[in-house]
């Protein structure tokens, strides 16, 4: 059986490893961190459940759902609460409910009469074939106000991104496709609504149902890790991936100052783009350069727990987004205890506030206490918090989410070319086809299928089986020294 090394134990790497393992392949997963899940990290403190990364998964998500069922996690699954259907938006310093039906949205005061008229002129705007930024696309087709008050906050909410930097073809490919196919996004969306079985258009995004788990999103990577058990090694930094003269891959791994080389028939690089870039320097500096160019501005997540009676706003929705033109210090806030049950103890509410991203990267790097003060101040002004939070925690992701800019297609093409050049080398991660966990799971499952096809080829089959391992301990004991897993006769990582 061929051995595959998966670098990265975030949801992308774990999903790929799980699929390969289920197909009977020998898989070794390596992560530099002391826990699995990467950005997917839930923590319960004093009855509050904090999500340091994703809070939920948007539906439809067929592959994510079948993964959940396969893992036996279905009983732990919880749906977004009906009370969280509403969305809020900040305009003129106040939060306003955003109607989700297009006709109700249109009649609301979110857009001025002139802004609404400009949106209605969209079918008369000529189509443009080349890629452009989300800001240019929206302004050209729908006018400035829709950009400022709808698209900008949406992009901040999904990518912590700046629409003036992101590529519309990379982030909202279906919008560009609708423009190319029908000449008008509005007409194409209206026509597709009349046809059954058509994918939801962009305006349906905010309405989508979502789900999480009783003890948070972190339950998913933990469940996969339990299934992988003996094949998962933490505190292992992948430093380089190279090709040996015999054709096999050599992966250089560093653990607490000690460097080792592992051999593999196939390698799946499931690292964030900036980390993947560093591992590829020796194999292909050009592709490493392309990966390194993908920006990951810092993003801070501030969790605030309040006594329920200390917040004036009813928090009857999923959360509130703040458009850049409002000049505020936060990208938005989730009403976490409304979104999913069990996020706050009785008599309390929980909010998750996002700071930084491409809009104000420097703010994400403030000290935790400063971030908590800043977030509380915004909650006080926008939602009427009357007292200080009873619990506050901050998590700063120094490298937040990948920002697919105008050159993104060229970069992805370079990575794909490298895969073809080095059969057995595969990439997966949130910089390919979207940052959502659902997109990561889809992409990683596809990647695992490609790995299997490769291994099934004569080249993969002709490889010698790797030496069997001797012993195995339970994963993530005490959450610290993490995993001491398969151990070779010499007591080391399998070489
Ligand atoms: C604050 C925040 C909120 C989000 N909210 C949502 C949401 O509500 N819904 C949603 O669907 N998505 C959300 N996302 C996006 C989603 O969580 C991520 O896109 C997804 O989890 C990325 O998974 P990944 O496995 O590709 O990467 P990661 O989770 O980044 O995993 C990569 C792994 O690689 C490891 N690594 C890095 N370098 C090395 C190295 N040299 N050697 C070995 N290991 C290495 C890291 O330790 C990490 O474990 C959010 C993200 C963030 C940051």
Rounded CA-CA distance 233/237 in Å is: 10
3-state secondary structure of 209: coil
Cα separations (Å) of 164 from 11, 104, 359, 394? 29, 28, 10, 28
Q: For ligand 1, atom 8, which residue shows the shortest CA distance?
A: 54
Contacts of 314 (CB under 8 A, 6+ apart): none
Give me ligand 1 centre to Cα 452, in Å. 24
Q: With contact defined as beta carbons under 8 Å apart, do 217 and 231 qualify?
A: no
CATH architecture entry for 42-83+297-397? Alpha-Beta Complex (3.90)
34: nearest Cα among 229, 225, 234:
234
The residue ranges of the chain whose pLDDT is under 70 are 1-2, 195-207, 458-495
For the domain made up of 111-199, the CATH class stated in words is mainly alpha
3-state secondary structure of 394: strand
Alpha helix locations (H) across 143-232?
144-146, 152-159, 168-171, 173-182, 185-194, 219-228
* pLDDT score, position 493: 53
**Atom of ligand 1 lying closest to residue 33 CA:** 47
> Is the C-beta atom of 9 inside 6 A of ligand 1?
yes
> Is the C-beta atom of 493 inside 6 A of ligand 1?
no
User: Residues of CATH 1.10.3110.10 domain(s) within the chain?
Assistant: 111-199
Rounded CA-CA distance 179/186 in Å is: 9
User: Residues of CATH 3.90.660.20 domain(s) within the chain?
Assistant: 42-83+297-397
Rounded CA-CA distance 346/416 in Å is: 51
> Is the C-beta atom of 301 inside 6 A of ligand 1?
yes
Cα separations (Å) of 105 from 111, 150, 268, 293? 9, 11, 44, 38
Q: Residue 346, exposed/middle/buried by CB under 10 A (0-12, 13-18, 19+)? A: exposed
Q: For ligand 1, atom 38, which residue shows the shortest CA distance?
A: 275
> Is the C-beta atom of 275 inside 6 A of ligand 1?
yes
Rounded CA-CA distance 140/192 in Å is: 22
Rounded CA-CA distance 461/52 in Å is: 42
Strand order in the sheet with 77-79: 57-58, 210-213, 77-79
* pLDDT score, position 459: 55
Identify the CATH homologous superfamily for domain 3-39+218-294+405-479.
FAD/NAD(P)-binding domain (3.50.50.60)
Q: Which of the listed residues 16, 28, 32, 54 should we mutate to test ligand 1's pocket, taking the one with most ligand atoms within 8 A of CB?
A: 54
pLDDT digits (tens, 9 = 90+) for 201-244: 444 555 679 999 999 999 999 999 999 977 999 999 999 999 99
Token pair of 100 as six digits: 């989700």
Give me ligand 1 centre to Cα 403, in Å. 14
Cα separations (Å) of 107 from 100, 102, 206, 207, 451? 11, 9, 18, 18, 51
Give me ligand 1 centre to Cα 495, in Å. 27
> Is the C-beta atom of 271 inside 6 A of ligand 1?
yes
Q: For ligand 1, atom 7, which residue shows the shortest CA distance?
A: 54
Element (H, E) at 412: helix 408-421
Q: With contact defined as beta carbons under 8 Å apart, do 159 and 166 qualify?
A: yes
Q: Which of the listed residues 33, 435, 442, 447 should we mutate to test ligand 1's pocket, taking the one with most ligand atoms within 8 A of CB?
A: 435
Token pair of 131 as six digits: 């890629």
Q: Which of the listed residues 68, 238, 255, 272 should we mutate to test ligand 1's pocket, taking the one with most ligand atoms within 8 A of CB?
A: 272
**Atom of ligand 1 lying closest to residue 238 CA:** 42
Q: With contact defined as beta carbons under 8 Å apart, do 162 and 134 qualify?
A: no
Which residues share a beta bridge with 332?
321, 354
Task: Quote the pTM value.
Answer: 0.92
Contacts of 29 (CB under 8 A, 6+ apart): 5, 6, 8, 9, 13, 14, 17, 228, 231, 232, 233
Q: Which of the listed residues 53, 438, 445 should we mutate to test ligand 1's pocket, taking the one with most ligand atoms within 8 A of CB?
A: 53
């Amino acid at each position: 059986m061929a051995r595959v090394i998966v670098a990265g134990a975030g949801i992308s790497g774990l999903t790929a490893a799980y699929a390969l393992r289920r197909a009977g392949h020998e898989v070794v997963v390596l992560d530099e961190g002391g826990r699995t899940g990467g950005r997917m990290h839930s923590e319960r403190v004093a009855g509050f459940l904090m999500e340091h990364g994703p809070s939920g998964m948007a539906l439809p998500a067929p592959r994510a759902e079948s993964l959940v069922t396969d893992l036996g996690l279905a009983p732990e699954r919880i749906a977004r609460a009906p009370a969280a259907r509403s969305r809020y938006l900040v305009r003129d310093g106040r939060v306003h409910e955003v109607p989700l039906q297009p006709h109700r949205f249109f009649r609301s005061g979110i857009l001025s009469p002139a802004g609404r008229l400009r949106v209605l002129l969209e079918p008369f705007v000529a189509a443009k074939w080349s890629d452009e930024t989300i800001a240019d696309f929206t302004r050209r087709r729908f006018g400035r106000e829709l950009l400022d008050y709808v698209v900008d906050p949406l992009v901040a909410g999904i990518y912590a991104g700046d629409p003036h930097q992101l590529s519309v073809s990379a982030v909202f490919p279906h919008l560009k496709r609708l423009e190319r196919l029908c000449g008008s996004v509005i007409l194409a969306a209206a026509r597709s609504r009349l046809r059954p079985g058509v994918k939801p258009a962009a305006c349906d995004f905010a309405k989508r149902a979502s789900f999480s788990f009783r003890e948070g999103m972190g339950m998913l990577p933990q469940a996969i890790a339990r299934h992988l058990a003996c094949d998962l090694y933490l505190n292992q930094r992948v430093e380089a991936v190279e090709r040996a003269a015999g054709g096999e891959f050599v992966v250089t791994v560093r653990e607490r100052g000690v460097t080792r080389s592992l051999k593999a028939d196939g390698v799946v690089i499931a690292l964030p783009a900036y980390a993947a870039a560093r591992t590829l320097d020796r194999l292909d500096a050009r592709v490493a350069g392309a990966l390194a160019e993908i920006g990951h501005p810092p993003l801070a997540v501030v969790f605030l727990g309040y006594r329920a009676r200390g917040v004036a706003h009813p928090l009857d929705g999923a959360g509130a987004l703040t458009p850049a033109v409002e000049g505020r210090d936060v990208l938005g806030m989730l009403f976490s205890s409304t979104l999913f049950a069990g996020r706050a103890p009785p008599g309390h509410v929980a909010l998750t506030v996002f700071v930084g991203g491409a809009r104000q990267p420097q703010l994400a790097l403030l000290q935790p206490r400063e971030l908590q003060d800043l977030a509380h101040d915004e909650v006080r002004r926008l939602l009427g918090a009357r007292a200080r939070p009873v619990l506050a925690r901050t998590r700063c992701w120094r490298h937040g989410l990948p920002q697919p800019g105008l050159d993104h297609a060229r970069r992805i093409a370079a990575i794909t070319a490298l895969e073809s050049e080095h059969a057995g080398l595969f990439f997966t991660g949130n910089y390919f086809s979207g940052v959502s966990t659902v997109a990561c799971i889809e992409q990683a499952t596809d990647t695992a299928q490609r790995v299997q096809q490769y291994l099934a080829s004569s080249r993969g089959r002709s490889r010698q089986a790797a030496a069997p391992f001797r012993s195995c301990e339970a994963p993530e004991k005490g959450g610290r020294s993490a995993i001491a897993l398969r151990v070779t006769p010499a007591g080391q990582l399998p070489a």
